[in-house]
Structure 1
Amino acid sequence: MNKWLAIVNPHAGIEKTRKKWDYIEYLLTKNKIDFEYIFTTKRGDATGLAREAVKNNYKKIISVGGDGTANEVVNGIFKQKYRDPLEIILGVIEVGTGNDWCKSIGVPSDFKKSIALLKSENRLLHDVGLIKYRNNKRNKSRYFINVAGLGFDAAVAYKTNCLKDKSRGNKFSYFWNILSTLFKYEPKKVEVSVGEDKFKEYMLSMNVGIGKYSGGKMQFTPSARIDDGLFDFTFIENISKIEIIKNIKRLYDGTILEHPNIRSYRAKTIEIKSDERVFLEADGESLGHTPAKFTILKRALNVVSDFGR
């Protein structure tokens, strides 16, 4: 089927999508894009809707919402057995609060420009990450396309998601949640295997990146590339809270890796173990906890992108 299916999350962007959908629908129609659409009703819906779309022979899917909506759609594309994921084209119209993934792949925030890009179908082959982890006593798995985090980062994401679920918060919520969580969070001891490197020590936070931006344009993995077949892994040691506050600007200007207590690696696989549970998130979605193993799927997804021109 050559028609697009738009999977629309009306709650994304603190209900912004619901308010803007009529205008987005008008622009899609004006640009003579052949499409149908369906609204999600709850968290996790987009995964099932994407899976059903592939089952029903849709080969082109638009994610309309935030980074979390796109993550759910990607999981639907990869957690189905009807068609090779490489046969699917994923487009995105970002209406969320952070919209970090769109910045990583060159999709404009302006609706007119992003829909013109969608119409062009310029695309690139994008890496996809697979995480295997635990949620209480159950083994779980999740795909992601931008940045995952463990430790302090996951604690901040959890707090941010709680606000979103109550239709509260804004694009600055992540930053303020960093400050409010900082003085409560205690570093965790972890055992890390990243490529051929292995070490065991206390850490404050860790990030596994395919894209550069997360948390509202912060750059925890500033050198990441979306199609190189490698994760960028940033390990933040047990540094003082005052030191963190003094260096927050580094998260925005891309110089975080210049700090002497922050290390970076590149690898196809990463494994994290710990005696105490260390929680994780992926693309801003709160998941489970360690042990966790990350595997890269090189150039596994067709994504409409300005970088594909």
Structure 2
Amino acid sequence: MINDNRWGILYCPKHEMLGSPKRRWEKIEACLKSNGVEYDFVQSESSAGVDRLIKMMINNGYRTIVVVGGDSALNDAVNCLMQADRNDRERVALGVIPNGLMNDFAHFWGLREDDYDQIIKWLKDRRVRKIDLGCIRYANKHGEACRRYFLNCINIGLVATIMNLRRQTRHYSGSRTLSFIMSFILMIFQRLEYRMHVKINNDDLNRSIMTMCVGNATGYGQTPNAVPYNGLLDVSVVYHPGMTQLLEGIYLFVRGKFLNHKSVHPYRTRKVEVLEARKALVGIDGRLMRTPSGPFTITVEQEVINFLIPE
């Protein structure tokens, strides 16, 4: 039986980041030792690996599981936890040491890259908060019912494409803001609007939409007022603006004032029904997913994950 104080640590190295993954782990390891943390360490470089190793940690009785990785690795971890028996899941507290290209969920809690010592001190304090997860339910191309959980957001349309471009441009720019700007420039060559039919609260939207973000948290700046503990989802729907408005939107996005743009229509809800999203890509926590076949529904599940937060 695993000691209740012993952590299970899953390291998801990002080779496209600046610096050596080995040196990054050595810095984290030194901070763990200096803080007297007992832990077991495993490494994964794929989504399937994260799933297998998280299951192993749950089955072996770890009460604290810490992911050293980004939003995608966290997404894999919570989806694995949601597959576990509820009693087993209740015994586990999930923590994160940000290490990926996209760490917006960690940033929501004030956790910053390279601040390893402070983060480990916070994790060691074991301040647990029950958090919400968003959930998309859809049918795959074989007609099978599927679901996928998310911590941060789902993007439908242009921004799903931009998030994919951002992953590529971040490799070359090394800067969060610069990668977004480069992605927005590249989007000139992308499709700019999609025919969608969406139901949100009492509104029935059946028209061309540029992009839509359904956020359980800040949604990479598109749902800046969303919090993962109120049982609600924030939604931003963006209609196709003119070129001048588009440039203004980029400026407001970078400044963190996205909702101030006249083409952005915000909602707060428990459920979003997408009856049609013709040819629109779908991104979940910054990673492209296979576009659902036909209609899909996005809901929120309240207080289902124990998450370790800072003071």
Q: Do the structures match in fold with TM over 0.5?
A: yes
Is the contact made by 2:211 and 2:239 (CA closer than 8 Å) also made in structure 1?
yes
1:125 matched residue in structure 2: 130
CA offset digits 1:160-183 (Å, max 9, x no partner) = 44568xx65633334312220234
Find the residue that maps to 1:193 and give its secondary structure.
strand
CA offset digits 1:260-289 (Å, max 9, x no partner) = 221011111111122623221111111022
CA deviation after TM superposition for structure 1 residue 13, in Å: 6.0
Find the residue that maps to 1:238 and give its secondary structure.
coil
Match of 1:232 among 230, 234, 241: 234
Residues 36 and 168 (structure 1 numbering): CA distance in 2 closer, same or farther, change over 3 Å? farther
Residues 285 and 23 (structure 1 numbering): CA distance in 2 closer, same or farther, change over 3 Å? same
How do 1:137-286 and structure 2 match up within 5 A?
A: 137=142, 139=144, 140-161=146-167, 170=174, 171=176, 172-214=178-220, 219-274=221-276, 276-286=278-288
Structure 1 gaps of 5+ residues are none
Is the contact made by 2:128 and 2:309 (CA closer than 8 Å) also made in structure 1?
yes
Q: 2:232 and 2:111 mapped to 1: Cα distance?
A: 22
2:30 matched residue in structure 1: 26
Residues 200 and 129 (structure 1 numbering): CA distance in 2 closer, same or farther, change over 3 Å? same
How many pairs are equivalent? 301
CA deviation after TM superposition for structure 1 residue 147, in Å: 1.8
1:292 matched residue in structure 2: 296
The amino acid across from 1:133 in the alignment is Y
Match of 2:7 among 4, 7, 26: 4
**Runs in 1 of length 4+ with deviation above 6 angstroms?**
none
Q: 2:172 and 2:143 mapped to 1: Cα distance?
A: 31
Residues 275 and 185 (structure 1 numbering): CA distance in 2 closer, same or farther, change over 3 Å? closer
Identity across matched positions, percent: 22
CA deviation after TM superposition for structure 1 residue 103, in Å: 1.5
Q: 1:40 and 1:15 mapped to 2: Cα distance?
A: 19
Is the contact made by 1:13 and 1:65 (CA closer than 8 Å) also made in structure 2?
no
Residues 279 and 95 (structure 1 numbering): CA distance in 2 closer, same or farther, change over 3 Å? same
Residues 127 and 82 (structure 1 numbering): CA distance in 2 closer, same or farther, change over 3 Å? closer
Is the contact made by 1:127 and 1:300 (CA closer than 8 Å) also made in structure 2?
yes
